[in-house]
Structure 1
Amino acid sequence: MSAIIAIRDAVPTSADMNGGFYSPAKAKAATRAVFSSRFPLFRRLRNLFAARKLRLITCVLTLSVVVLVSSRLSSLMGWVPPHPNPSISRGCGYTVLINTWKRSSALKQSVAHYASCNGVAAIHVVWSDSDPPSESLKSHLEKMVFSKSRAAQKPNFRFGISQEEDLNNRFKPIEGLTNDAVFSVDDDAIVSCPTLDFAFTVWQSAPNAMVGFTPRMHWLHKKKSGMAKYEYGGWWSVWWMGTYSMLLPKAVFFHRNYLDLYTYNMPSSIRDYVTRERNCEDIAMSLLVANATGAPPIWVKGKMYEIGSSGISSLKRHSKRRNKCLNDFVSLVGRMPLVPTNVKAVDARFEWFW
């Protein structure tokens, strides 16, 4: 007892001022108050960290709510392809769907290149011409696929021949596919094999999305009359703004079921429009996927180059025609389904900083 009394006498506290009852919590609070009053910088730093902590918690909660709502909306907005489990997904690898038009030289280079990529399970050429491919060309390409492929199981190669010249032909369903992933590519677009394989792994993580290398964008533009119109933005718009909402099927992965949706479920008025105008089938496919998923595409950074002469995009008045297509399609669909995004998939193994 005397020891306790000695301690109280030696170290007087504010508790002694309140009837002699000692409270450690009150003593700590009093000490903190004195310290803060003597050191205002400490007080400001403490308040700053507390505010940042609150903002961080708020951001995390907000992001969680957005992800939850987005997932619910995606399940309500049209058809959503199944999420294949890599261990049980149908087949392995992907089908390269090459769209060609009277460019045999470019087609030969394209087939030879993609046959050498390890992930390619099949190569399907879309031939839309009143004159069918010659037997010598088909035989040459078949031998090229066999000789260029380094896989034990050689890719399956065949032509899909259509008599009419219709851009809708590039999205016709393919019978006998053994894999879900389709890489749609023009005959003059070459994507390096490592880049292509990386994009395939990105698609496997998001099989509902379009995953590819040719981003484009749209934005709402209001004219002086007050009428709202959409404008189509090419590559330089994407580069300048850092935003995109479409991926062109010039070089893009998508789920095989979108071929069925494009052919059998999309409004026939849009397919008729593409046939009549000979343009904008790529915009139509982007609208279709966005309408089905309610989600943006995924742009992959990688090596891609073009061979031969440029195509329809080099024609005059191309931008005006694309603007018209975009607005006409939105009118036919009844709304704008495209979702802008700033996300880019990058293979960190080949980056200096990540």
Structure 2
Amino acid sequence: MSTTISIRDSAPTAAMAAAISSSDMNGGFYSPAKAKAASRPLFSPRFPPFRRLRHLFCPRKLRLVASVFLLCFVVFLSSRLSSLMGWLPPQPNSSFPRGGGFTVLINTWKQSSALKQSVAHYATCDGVAAIHVVWSDSDPHSETMKARLEKMVFSKSRAAQKLDFRFGMRQDEDLNNRFKPIEGMKTDAVFSVDDDVIVSCDTLDFAFGVWQSAPNGMVGFTPRMHWIDEEKSGVANYEYEGWWSVWWMGTYSMLLPKAAFFHRKYLDLYTYDMTASIRDYVTRERNCEDIAMSLLVANATGAPPIWVKGKMYELGSSGISGLKRHSKSGNKCLNDLISLFGRIPLVQTNVKAVDARFEWFW
């Protein structure tokens, strides 16, 4: 005799039917719990690790990850569009009007092998209107060097008009010579640089644009910082801090003119208007002229300089920048010069100019 059981007026599933049929065949009774257990798969992802994996790789999250990846790819592709499609961002105008462009003022000490590379490099930069080398030495071979450099400048120059090249020879090694006024200079902007420091042309043009927005200040690539060390008898003592302090703290108050833009008027101020005792100190110590110029510009503007992020490197240690100043020497220069100025005009800042066209985050 066969028995049929109906649950909640619903038709039995295939598993239930199989269970019922099996019960009938064995002469037993039908069990809903057994039928439900029979309908489950053999390997069910009921354990927590499997649930988390299934939740992690759900279609909604996969679509979100794919969307983020696609957005990043579009941003990357857009930033590299100039190279992929042959299009370049607008560059500074290379046809400079009267007073436009800038003069590269290269300071060299004796004959440096780096000087030739430096002059050859800056002669290829579109923004350069003139190159002036300050040769502070009575070396008799300087005339031969002058002829070689002049020929090199004319061959390397890409400007429509040949660069104005000058070779200023000084009969002494006074470091004040690097800031002597240049007669007949046609540009307002001066890029003061040591003979072994190379700044890429693109970076140089960008820094020149930054300087044009603040032509009374100093704009450059070598930031330094001063901190109050202690006070003795009511007189503050300052500590000169180099690059690592700037990198760590993100604060600076000076730019060294080993690679910096400033207005040509500061050459006159340094030579004719600045306290003579400061120039005498630089002559006597054969040092500190870079800090003196930073103090002079800060004193004239009452504002901090502007540090520019860019590509800069030094050609070994043969040039003038190879004569590194130790912290102890820097401390002495800074404190002595502040005493001669009669005040400390330096202003701290955290500002850094960055070319946003080549930055991922800005």
Does the TM-score normalized on the shorter chain lie above 0.5? yes
Instruction: Determine the C-alpha separation between the residues in 2 that align with 1:314 and 1:143.
Output: 27
Structure 1 counterpart of 2:205: 197
How many angstroms does 1:196 deviate by? 0.1
Conservation of the 8 A alpha-carbon contact between 2:109 and 2:320: no
How many angstroms does 1:102 deviate by? 2.1
Amino acid at match of 1:331: S
- Map residues 232-271 of structure 1 onto 2, 5 A cutoff: 232-271=240-279
Structure 2 counterpart of 1:101: 109
Conservation of the 8 A alpha-carbon contact between 2:219 and 2:261: yes
Sort the Cα spacing of 1:302 and 1:248 in 2 relative to 1 into closer, same or farther, 3 A.
same
How many angstroms does 1:94 deviate by? 0.3
How many angstroms does 1:310 deviate by? 5.9
Structure 2 counterpart of 1:291: 299
Conservation of the 8 A alpha-carbon contact between 2:223 and 2:255: yes
Amino acid at match of 2:268: D
Q: Percent identity?
A: 83
Sort the Cα spacing of 1:186 and 1:166 in 2 relative to 1 into closer, same or farther, 3 A.
same
Structure 2 counterpart of 1:161: 169
Residue 149 in 1 paired to residue 140 in 2? no
Amino acid at match of 1:319: S
Conservation of the 8 A alpha-carbon contact between 2:238 and 2:334: yes
Tell me whether 175-184 or 133-142 shows the greater mean CA deviation: 133-142
How many angstroms does 1:318 deviate by? 2.0
Instruction: Determine the C-alpha separation between the residues in 2 that align with 1:310 and 1:104.
Output: 7
Structure number having the greater helix percentage:
1
Structure 2 counterpart of 1:126: 134
Conservation of the 8 A alpha-carbon contact between 1:195 and 1:303: yes
Amino acid at match of 2:264: R
Name structure 1 gaps, 5 residues minimum: 1-86
Instruction: Determine the C-alpha separation between the residues in 2 that align with 1:119 and 1:88.
Output: 8
Sort the Cα spacing of 1:97 and 1:132 in 2 relative to 1 into closer, same or farther, 3 A.
farther
Tell me whether 97-106 or 189-198 shows the greater mean CA deviation: 97-106
Instruction: Determine the C-alpha separation between the residues in 2 that align with 1:133 and 1:98.
Output: 18
Amino acid at match of 1:210: M
- Map residues 70-85 of structure 1 onto 2, 5 A cutoff: none
Amino acid at match of 1:245: S
Structure 2 counterpart of 1:334: 342
Instruction: Determine the C-alpha separation between the residues in 1 that align with 2:323 and 2:315.
Output: 17
Sort the Cα spacing of 1:267 and 1:284 in 2 relative to 1 into closer, same or farther, 3 A.
same
How many angstroms does 1:228 deviate by? 2.3
The secondary structure found in structure 2 opposite 1:102 is coil
Instruction: Determine the C-alpha separation between the residues in 1 that align with 2:134 and 2:214.
Output: 26
Structure 2 counterpart of 1:217: 225
Structure 1 counterpart of 2:118: 110
Structure 2 counterpart of 1:182: 190
Instruction: Determine the C-alpha separation between the residues in 1 that align with 2:209 and 2:141.
Output: 34
Conservation of the 8 A alpha-carbon contact between 2:120 and 2:156: yes
* Number of residues of Structure 1 aligned to a counterpart in Structure 2: 268
Conservation of the 8 A alpha-carbon contact between 2:118 and 2:195: yes
TM-score of the aligned structures, taking structure 2 as reference length: 0.71
Instruction: Determine the C-alpha separation between the residues in 1 that align with 2:185 and 2:232.
Output: 51
How many angstroms does 1:313 deviate by? 6.9
How many angstroms does 1:89 deviate by? 7.6
Name structure 2 gaps, 5 residues minimum: 1-94
Conservation of the 8 A alpha-carbon contact between 1:94 and 1:180: yes
Structure 1 counterpart of 2:312: 304
Instruction: Determine the C-alpha separation between the residues in 2 that align with 1:235 and 1:146.
Output: 36
Conservation of the 8 A alpha-carbon contact between 1:128 and 1:164: yes
Instruction: Determine the C-alpha separation between the residues in 1 that align with 2:134 and 2:323.
Output: 23
Residue 276 in 1 paired to residue 287 in 2? no
- Bigger radius of gyration among the two: 2
The secondary structure found in structure 2 opposite 1:143 is helix
How many angstroms does 1:315 deviate by? 6.2
1:190-231: CA deviation from partner (whole Å, max 9, x where unpaired) = 000000000000000000010000000101111587752011
Structure 2 counterpart of 1:230: 238
Conservation of the 8 A alpha-carbon contact between 1:90 and 1:180: no
Structure 2 counterpart of 1:135: 143
Amino acid at match of 1:151: A
Instruction: Determine the C-alpha separation between the residues in 1 that align with 2:338 and 2:97.
Output: 34
Conservation of the 8 A alpha-carbon contact between 1:132 and 1:161: no
The secondary structure found in structure 1 opposite 2:336 is helix
How many angstroms does 1:335 deviate by? 0.7
1:165-208: CA deviation from partner (whole Å, max 9, x where unpaired) = 10000000000011100000000000000000000000000000
The secondary structure found in structure 2 opposite 1:336 is coil
Conservation of the 8 A alpha-carbon contact between 2:110 and 2:139: no
The secondary structure found in structure 2 opposite 1:352 is coil
The secondary structure found in structure 2 opposite 1:92 is coil
Instruction: Determine the C-alpha separation between the residues in 2 that align with 1:322 and 1:335.
Output: 18
